Amino acid sequence: MQRRGVRRFIHDPGLLEVRLRDGLRRLGLESELWPGSDSYDLRIRFDDGEVWGIDAKDWESAGLLARAFSWNPDPPCDRAFLVVAQHRCRGTQYLRELETELEGRVSGVEVWSEDRFLTHAIAERIGRGRGGR
């Protein structure tokens, strides 16, 4: 038995994680949730062997997210993405502020909105001529 708060915020997948997993699945890309005991949130392996790691975040404050964010590179991936919930990005400077605040703190992590990331993933899938697993 887990308390409701532990179950909701620690054990159960977040809404953004589920939306991304389901969106990737609809695009024909399978992903693994919480690789390496939750080093990051989703992992995609394309048929050509390239691996993407995705950390999904839905924080109200871009500045606080940037200060708290770190990337755990285990298990390793070829590209690392910090994907932000779409509703945080509408009509705001959220992504720009997040990227600015992350400068010098974290390197090698691409910052994308939820919708833009899914569009990029399908373009990659089509460009490769095959799916991911």
d(CA 74, CA 36): 7
pTM of the model: 0.84
Q: What distance in Å separates the CA atoms of residue 133 and residue 52, rounded to the nearest whole number?
A: 11
- What is the number of other CB atoms lying within 10 angstroms of the CB of residue 17? 21
- Report phi then psi at 34, rounded to 5: 50, 60
The C-alpha atoms of residue 49 and residue 85 are separated, in whole angstroms, by 27
What are the boundaries of each domain within the chain?
Answer: 4-128
pLDDT string in tens for the chain (133-residue length) = 545 544 344 444 588 999 999 999 998 888 998 888 778 999 999 888 899 999 999 999 999 999 999 999 899 999 999 999 999 998 779 999 999 999 999 999 999 999 999 999 988 887 776 555 5
Residue 100: Cβ within 10 Å count: 13
- SS3 label, residue 23: helix
CATH fold for domain 4-128: Rossmann fold (3.40.50)
